[in-house]
Structure 1
Amino acid sequence: MNEEPNAGRAGADAPTTGRAGAEVLTMGRAGVDLYPLQTGVPLDEVETFGRYLGGSPTNVAVAAARLGRTAAVITRTGEDPFGAFVRRALRGYGVDDRHVAAVQGLPTPLTFCEIRPPEDFPLFFYRLPKAPDLEIRPDELDLDAIAGAPLFWATLTGLSQEPSRQAHFAAWRSRGRRPYTVLDLDYRPMFWADPRQAAEQARRAVGHATVVVGNVDEAEVATGVREPRRAGEALLAAGVELAIVKRGSAGVLAMTARECVEVPAVPVEVVNGLGAGDAFGGALCHGLLSGWPLERTVRFANAAGAIVAGRLACAPAMPTAGEIDALLTSRDAEEAAHA
């Protein structure tokens, strides 16, 4: 089994980073991704796997850190070797792990996938009897850190069970809907006993967010509307300041009360599409905190996602700003040549 190549070099006893407060603070899932090193092979026939840091909000923090932002994650792991790996990997990527704790009696989650490019990447989550990241409790939160973070990122998955649900709403209340409070809709049907409950919690959560990000399916869960522009309008009507709907090969739609931007997809030879949304998220954080115009922010995030879709893993695949800028420059040159 191959271990994640670019993480964990700080060593098991490396200290937590000494940051006063992160620019990007995320909250929610963390675990270990075990991805096949054979492409197009059924999971029952795979012989070797790569071990990588996983969990969408955790990967978003890694992506933001790769772009030079100070980042931290609020999560829980098992009190086991995989939990130790998660913390070591976070430190290796420069992500503050001071808000990460172990939960006794619950194993660190594992996620397997099959690699079937260009669009089929079935996931198999091992989060039983319960994922530790759903054991985050309201009284454990550093509400001052949450309220003071320039950007706070959380996902719908964190609302699928208690006490994590209460903890998320406590975190949002502490912020009072200040910018940037980002909700990643991140809807995973297998985490919910009833899809109607997911829709109900999504609508509640939207009421606390200033930015909402999701694909077409996820936007429909939150709004009941599938058409991207109408879904974006519904999110804005609920008080969201920026609504982003990712449309796959049709590109990305981003809307505010004053502006509507549509950015086409970036062509890429897909290796594994699973980390693209997290790369998009980390790059979106960077653009928002940089104060960039909306179109530049979305183009940058879209290019980051395309780069990771062309790579195997998630966390170690997150691009640097230089890589993203190089891809955008190349795309601009190609478009100019065909104009």
Structure 2
Amino acid sequence: MSFDLLTMGRISVDIYPNDVGRSLEDVESFGKYLGGSPSNVAVAAARHGDRTGVITRTGEDPFGTYLHGQLSKFGVDDQFVSAVPGLQTPATFCAILPQEQQFPLYFYGRFPTAPDLQIRADELDVEAIAAARVFWSTVTGLCQEPSASAHLAAHQARPRTELAEGQYTVLDLDYRPMFWESVDEARARVAQVLPHVTVAIGNDEECAVAVGDGTPDEQADRLLDAGVEIAVVKLGPEGVMAKTRTERVVSAPVPVETLNGLGAGDSFGGAFVHGLLAGWPLAQTLDFANAAGALVASRLSCADAMPTTDEVRALLSERGRLVPNTEASV
């Protein structure tokens, strides 16, 4: 099977409270969901009809079995998902406090290591990685060996004629300080990978880790100078900007009532990939991704909440925004 999108990195069981608006110590019941940013991105793109797969590892336990089942349910190929004997599948707890706009995460089973940080370079199917139309990874996958070397090897397997051939290599600058010894270590690891990347996506803090502090335009320009072809900088309440060497576009926020801010970035990522695959203009791709992220922010879960293409188009139409012509999709 050839892939429209192949992602690599974190997977977990997300444990979300059914009692929205209560601190974790007061929550009485929870629901469990597929989690982990690269895995969620694969689900998000699959919801738009793209052929997706994920490279990751779980524990050899019932939660690992559960994640295989969830990937299959969402149409994500799990042939590159294997178990690590002796390690447990991580669980991530979240408090959902929409009134305070707070959604703190608590990671369990990731320290001192996690199964998805045990991906090894010599186990990669480099032919599948090289052939995928889009390859997606995150900075978190660089935080520990052997995962860091495996991620670098995967990026090195990608062809550098990508944009001309309709291929993209995406680095989600997803920086989580609890996984790193220092910002300097993270920046050094990112610098190794950036020359192999055609699309970088991050918010102000994440871009600062990658290329230093500065305005969004300064950070985007530094990413472009590092070899990236499309720099996407999230602007918080001001929306999101995408910049190439010849184009700069900004998509204003798509207003929704936020229920759970987690997962919006993964929905954005899967929708952005879909726009790239469909060959839409950058402005339309950015608007589509922005709306997809907004929809998930208005829902409780992440993977289970990923919208369909029709749902995103309907929201854009309601808000009077650009609606991509899905007949141009491939």
Alignment TM-score > 0.5, same fold: yes
Deviations 1:2-41 (A, max 9, x none): xxxxxxxxxxxxxxxxxx1211000000010000111121
The residue identity in structure 2 corresponding to 1:164 is S
Note the C-alpha offset of 1:275. Answer: 0.3
The corresponding residue for 1:60 is 41
The corresponding residue for 1:11 is none
Instruction: State whether residues 217 and 226 of structure 1, in contact with CA within 8 Å, keep that contact through their aligned partners in structure 2.
Output: no
Note the C-alpha offset of 1:201. Answer: 1.1
In 1: Cα distance, 2:72 partner to 2:14 partner: 17
2:312 pairs with 1:324: yes
In 2: Cα distance, 1:234 partner to 1:332 partner: 33
The corresponding residue for 2:328 is none
The corresponding residue for 2:121 is 138
The corresponding residue for 1:32 is 13
In 2: Cα distance, 1:278 partner to 1:66 partner: 12
Deviations 1:156-207 (A, max 9, x none): 0000000000000110111133330000011000011222101111222212
The corresponding residue for 1:239 is 227
- Partner-residue secondary structure (3-state), 2:181: coil
In 2: Cα distance, 1:139 partner to 1:314 partner: 32
Note the C-alpha offset of 1:239. Answer: 1.1
Instruction: State whether residues 254 and 294 of structure 2, in contact with CA within 8 Å, keep that contact through their aligned partners in structure 1.
Output: yes
- Partner-residue secondary structure (3-state), 1:147: helix
Q: Cα RMSD between the aligned structures?
A: 1.1
**TM-score under structure 2 normalisation?**
0.94
The corresponding residue for 1:12 is none
2:95 pairs with 1:114: yes
2:188 pairs with 1:200: yes
Note the C-alpha offset of 1:293. Answer: 0.2
The corresponding residue for 2:238 is 250
Q: What is the number of equivalent residue pairs in this alignment? A: 315
Deviations 1:69-94 (A, max 9, x none): 00000000000000000100000000
In 2: Cα distance, 1:78 partner to 1:308 partner: 28
Which of the residues 205, 222, 225 maps onto 2:213? 225
In 2: Cα distance, 1:220 partner to 1:195 partner: 9
In 2: Cα distance, 1:226 partner to 1:324 partner: 32
- Partner-residue secondary structure (3-state), 2:253: coil
1:272-287 alignment, distance < 5 Å: 272-287=260-275
Deviations 1:44-99 (A, max 9, x none): 11110110000000000000000000000000000000000010000000000000
The residue identity in structure 2 corresponding to 1:117 is P
Which of the residues 28, 33, 36 maps onto 1:47? 28
When structure 1 is superposed on structure 2, of 196-205 and 270-279 the one drifting more is: 196-205
In 2: Cα distance, 1:116 partner to 1:227 partner: 30
Note the C-alpha offset of 1:129. Answer: 3.5
- Partner-residue secondary structure (3-state), 1:273: coil
The corresponding residue for 1:22 is 3
Note the C-alpha offset of 1:225. Answer: 2.4
1:168-207 alignment, distance < 5 Å: 168-177=151-160, 178=162, 179-207=167-195
When structure 1 is superposed on structure 2, of 37-46 and 53-62 the one drifting more is: 37-46
In 2: Cα distance, 1:270 partner to 1:199 partner: 32
- Partner-residue secondary structure (3-state), 1:22: coil
When structure 1 is superposed on structure 2, of 196-205 and 283-292 the one drifting more is: 196-205
Q: Which runs of 4+ in 1 moved over 2 A?
A: 176-179
Instruction: State whether residues 220 and 226 of structure 1, in contact with CA within 8 Å, keep that contact through their aligned partners in structure 2.
Output: yes
When structure 1 is superposed on structure 2, of 221-230 and 155-164 the one drifting more is: 221-230
- Partner-residue secondary structure (3-state), 2:320: helix
Note the C-alpha offset of 1:333. Answer: 7.3
In 1: Cα distance, 2:222 partner to 2:193 partner: 14
The corresponding residue for 1:92 is 73
1:159-174 alignment, distance < 5 Å: 159-174=142-157
In 2: Cα distance, 1:139 partner to 1:247 partner: 38
State, as a whole percentage, how many aligned pairs show the same letter. Answer: 57
In 2: Cα distance, 1:97 partner to 1:333 partner: 36
2:295 pairs with 1:307: yes
Note the C-alpha offset of 1:272. Answer: 0.3
Note the C-alpha offset of 1:128. Answer: 2.6
Note the C-alpha offset of 1:227. Answer: 1.2
2:62 pairs with 1:81: yes
Instruction: State whether residues 287 and 321 of structure 2, in contact with CA within 8 Å, keep that contact through their aligned partners in structure 1.
Output: no
Which of the residues 187, 202, 209 maps onto 1:214? 202
In 2: Cα distance, 1:96 partner to 1:265 partner: 32
In 2: Cα distance, 1:290 partner to 1:153 partner: 17
When structure 1 is superposed on structure 2, of 223-232 and 284-293 the one drifting more is: 223-232
Note the C-alpha offset of 1:226. Answer: 3.2
In 1: Cα distance, 2:188 partner to 2:159 partner: 20
Q: Any stretches of 5+ residues in structure 2 without a counterpart?
A: 323-330
